[in-house]
Structure formats: C-alpha cells, structure tokens
Chain A
Amino acid sequence: MALADYIVSKAFFAREFLMWLWHKSVSCDGVFNIHSGVIEVLFDDHMVFTGFLVGTDSTRLAGGEPAESEEARLAVREGKHLTEAKVTIVRDARSWTVTLKTDPFALASVKLPAVLSKFDDEKIMERMYLLDELESMIDFMFDEYIGERLFGDWGSTLDEIRDWVSN
C-alpha cells in the first residue's frame, strides 16, 4: 500500500489518541509524566463528537466541563467519535490552550504562554519556540499512545475505557 493510502486508512489513530488522552486525563487527574518532567493535561470547555454513519448528527458540547459530563460519554455510547477537543496543557506554571482536531490531525486556536519580546523577529522566534514546546509535548503523548497500542496491554486499556464510557 502507498503512503497516501496508509494516511487515509490510519486516520483513526488521531481519533483514538484523543479518546485515549481524554480517558487518561480523567483517570490520572490530568497528570502526565513526559520526557522532560511532569505536565498537566486538562480537557476544557469544548468537545465535538462526530457520527460517521449516514444520518448521524454531531454532538457539540460547549461550556462547563464537558469532559466530566454524562452527555460526552453518551455520545461515545451512541457510536460517535471524539473529533475535536479544547485542551489546556500546563508545564512549569506556563499554560498552552489548544483545540486538537483529528480530521485532519491538526492544532487549532492555540493560545501560547505570554510572549515577552517586542520586536517582530524576536516575537516570531519566541512564538515558534513555544509552539515547538507544545508540539513536543503532544507528540510525546501521541507516541505513548502508539507505544501502548504496539507494546502495551491495549486490551486492558480498551476494557477500562469501555467500562468508563458505559458507567
């Protein structure tokens, strides 16, 4: 199969990752150990669940704490996929807010920690460093998900997620 075909057929990795991240965030109080220390991953006030079957509507949850809500898990029980979520990541008292999108896998509406530089060139560099830092945290967590899929006990993780969704 060509790379382009794999990109399409494995697009579900992004949706699974987001679901895995949501469950992990709720079950571990948002605390993740990554290569360079401890970070907090908190699901914010915006989640979108998409039904991929014909005639299925999307469920958009906004305001409050949708990640903790029954409605959010109900959407999954209805067979919908988490395709968009606003997430806050905290590291060393600095916070990034990002909407993680799955189709295509992309970062949207990113809010960076305060940028201190005043001149455009310096501003660009500072913003790029902060974005690179955010990407490295997200890529690390994504790699952890893939690692669990490949070498971990994915069956147990899946059972845990299914129990949590159904309760």
Chain B
Amino acid sequence: MGVVSGNISYRRYWVSRSPGKADILTALNGRRFRGLLQDEDQAVGWAPVGRLIDPVSIDFGYDIFMASYAAFALRRDRWAVPASLLKSRVDESLHMWLLQTGNKKIPAYVRIEAKDTAQALLRREALPKPQVVDIVWDLQSNIVKVWSLSKEVNELFDALFNLTFKDVGLIPLTAYTIAISNKDKPSIDEINGIEACSFTKPRE
C-alpha cells in the first residue's frame, strides 16, 4: 500500500548516485524475496509492488521503471504463531515430560526443546504473515522514498539497501541533512554552529 493508493506516510533518503537501470535490476534480483522456510524466523527481500501472492516466481523487469522512478517493495514474512497457542503447547509438553520422567524440576534444555518442537509443529499449520513496504527511487534526483515511519522497518530497509547497492551511500534525509544540502563549506560550518533556542521569554 502507498505507492498506488492509500495512506502516504514515508521517510526520505538520499543516495550519492543512482546506478543504471540494468544494474538496479541485477541487484534487486540478487536480493529478491524468496519465500519463508519452515526453519526460518523471517525472510526479507525485494518484491514487486502490489504482488502479494507468488512474489517469488518472477524476476524484476523493466516494468518497475516509470519516467525517472523505480518502484519496488521491501517484503518481510514472519511466522504468525499465536503466542497463547505456543505457550499452551509448550505447557502441555512439559507437563507430559514431568509425568513421564517423575522429575520435579524441568531443566532449561528441556524447556528450549519443547518450545522448538511446538514452534515447528505450529508453523506447519500456520501461514506466513507478510509485511510489504513500498519503495520509490527517483533516479534523477537520487531521492528514495520508503513508505513507512517505523524505526524497525527503516533500519531493515537501510540494511538491505546497503547490502544490495553497495556503493551508493544511503543517507537519511533529516532536518540536518536537508539543511546542509546544496550549501558551501562556510555555510555548513555556520549551520554546525547553530544552537537550539527557547521560544519562551527568559525570566527577568
């Protein structure tokens, strides 16, 4: 959601250069979303915009480019195992272990094993929970928009983007980076010297 319709809340980033279209496609395909496996906690990768079902079967093509923009999505899938159900399965299994062994205390390794087994069993019955965040990269202005304000999602984007495009230098557009953009060195030095002020009258 976001690029085509719906709520628009986003953060902006700046890159020092935008690679050619062919290089972008190669890089995106190299880190394409490949689906979530049973033994993984999460799977992260790039996916086409608006293709929630079966995103793994196609490669990125030139249709992601529109005018100066490249539109794609960050996708993260996680297993949606309800915590209460997991706890109840683990409790049941630990109860059985106590009955079978006659012990009064449960060692830590048994607890861990019980949790892993319960998680594996429940994952077989569960569907992955997808999270999709649209990305638009303006190759002319070198601005990348990420359709999420979540700190966690933005950190995930930052990490994957830097892995995918190793030499483009992703910088978040913050008040400071906007302030210094297109400024000469003396102006930047002056900006660096600005101190915060108070909008309340000082007490006399």
Question: Which residues of A are at the interface with B, using a C-beta cutoff of 8 A?
Answer: 1, 3, 6-7, 10-14, 16-17, 19, 76-77, 79, 99, 101-102, 104-112, 120-121, 123-125, 127-128, 131-132, 135, 139, 142-143, 146, 149-150, 158, 161-163, 165-166
Contacts and interface: CB of A to CB of B under 8 A. Distances in A.
B200 A109 contact: no
Contacts of A17: 175
B172 interface: yes
B196 A108 contact: no
6 contacts: A14-B175, A19-B199, A104-B11, A104-B149, A146-B191, A166-B200
B71 interface: yes
B9 interface: yes
Given A120-B4, A162-B200, A165-B199, A6 B176 contact: yes
A109 B175 contact: no
Dominant SS among interface residues on chain A: helix
Interface in B1-58: 3-5, 7-12, 49-50
A6 B192 contact: yes
Contacts of B179: 10, 13, 142, 146
Contacts of B190: 150
Size class of the B contact interface (CB-based, 8 Å): 35 or more
Contacts of B124: none
B113 to A, nearest CB: 42
B150 to A, nearest CB: 11
Contact of A107 (B9, B49, B141, B174): B9
B158 to A, nearest CB: 12
A17 B145 CA distance: 22
A121 B3 CA distance: 10
